[in-house]
Structure 1
Amino acid sequence: MMVQAFASLKSYLDSQVLGQPALTEGILLALLANGHLLVEGPPGLAKTRAVNALAQGVEAEFHRIQFTPDLLPADLTGTDIYRPETGAFAFQSGPLFHNLILADEINRAPAKVQSALLEAMAEKQVTVGRNTYKLPELFLVMATQNPLEQEGTYPLPEAQLDRFLLHLKVDYPDSATELEILRLTRAEARHETPVKAAPISQADIFAARQQVLKLHLAESLEHYMVQLVMATRQPAAYSAKLASYIGYGASPRATIALDRCSRARAWLAGRDFVTPEDIQAVFHNVLRHRLILTYAAEAEGISTDQVLTDILELVAVP
């Protein structure tokens, strides 16, 4: 029954975010794997709409934060406010205390703001002054980046990139989908919105996460995931050309993310076991932001996705 509820949620997201099935699946994988999502794509591709639709489909509070160069950490975390009537300071919580956070154009904020978000993502808590405050148990950050504009931006450091479970790339829809989008927005303007199923409770989300963790994963597939990640750290063992392209490989977080996301994908498909195809399907999105390529790769125009495809071809499938 729980899988059916998530299947209905996926159908609802797809009806609201047309032509972006990888984005809607990625959001559900992050929700089930208890991780965060980095989405890269041009503006106007329904990234905000996707998280807002998720908030409609689950029992959760949603907040959008527009990141700008003048943003301060307190604008995210909240701050201590002096109360004259009591003569004491009281903590006023910030937008991070919602369940679903859209960090729009995250790379436009300076390092101090990014570090405040990093603590929230990594520890599910924020520190203000001498006090630390816990964030909600259900806490998911979807951050967006615009690949077209790089002027006036602050590139995310590798440590923060590694905190994201998935890095998705979205692109413009085709002409048929564009026509559907046009008709959908027209129907919404006439208040002809589709009927959505009852929201999934947070208790059901936490129960689904436990079911995902209990899925059967063969020992051979555990070794397969480890070898895929080790190929990014010891590429010379597989190919001299691969070694010339990879400067730094992925951390153990990549292996953990591969495990969580492949399990979540199998669970969404209604299976109680993980297949090699599940691992391969999430491999690019899990590893895309965790590799640092060499200058030689950049000079040859080699992308991270091309390197990851080569790794999948070189590492033997059990």
Structure 2
Amino acid sequence: MNTAFAPGHCREYVESIQDVRLRDIARAEYFYFSGQAEEAAQLAELYLSHPELSLRLSACLIYAYANLTLGQIPRARQALAGVRGILTSADAHTPLQLRAAAASIVTAAAVLLHLPLPEDVGPLQEHIRFLPPGLRMFALYVQAHHTYLQGDYSKSIGIVETAFAMQTETYPIPSIYMHLVAVMDYMSLKQPEDAQAHLLTAWELARPDDLIEGFGEHHGLLGGMLEAVLKKDWPEDFKRIIAITYRFSAGWRKVHNPVTGDDVADNLTTTEFATAMLAARGWTNQEIADHMGISPNTVKQYISTTLQKLNIKQRKDLKQYMLR
């Protein structure tokens, strides 16, 4: 995640790492971001108690999100608790960069799970400047995602644009995530052409190394953009992304819903969810149909089925069941 590499050369870079421990962590990261959660969890588990804090921190991050995808919620919680333990035990001898990384991971967990921010960690911007470039890029993605959740889409886009303007090298993994949050912003602003441009840029970075995990994680917030752009031209990749979506979102809801008291829908197909998300954002059936390349009658049927599944009668009530 903190490495600048040319797209298509991720595995080559990983295998070139001489330090066996660092190579293992890099392999675990590659497994995770390419949708291989089982392999990522198995490798990361070896370093959960490692005496070197940087290795333990990386392992906890990978292990937490891999197990979220695998539905092993207690293991995911345990790993995130391990990150918080590193942060709370930090003292004057703990490198600032390590403390900043731990704080960023704790904040990222709250933001990506749409949970309240931890008050004892402090604002993320206080830690970003101590991070190395790739991790700083990912932290800025987290900041942009949080700003999106607050409904300030233009400001979120500003964070994205500033981050890319300041980049001296391309860090593919955080850049993919940054482009995806831009898709979320532009879809919320009903600017699908700009959203598509960012999605395709993310896909160009991801496809050569099969870094598809982020697309599955963000599906529900992308407003049908995967169906509109990837499904036709890359149908097999689209199917694998949707499989990731079902797995990740199931684990996500097991953490999010009990903590927040929300009831984010869990019995919709991904197409129904994407259609309902757009409807909840005020898109008309015709606008949804034009965007997703289907007929207005098909959109109407998706919405009708969704209302039945959620046991609600009015379209305006969809919002309470959708991601925010």
Fold conserved between structures, TM > 0.5: no
TM-score w.r.t. length of structure 1: 0.30
Which protein has the bigger helix share?
2
TM-score w.r.t. length of structure 2: 0.30
Structure showing greater relative contact order (alpha-carbon pairs closer than 8 Å, 6 or more residues apart): 1
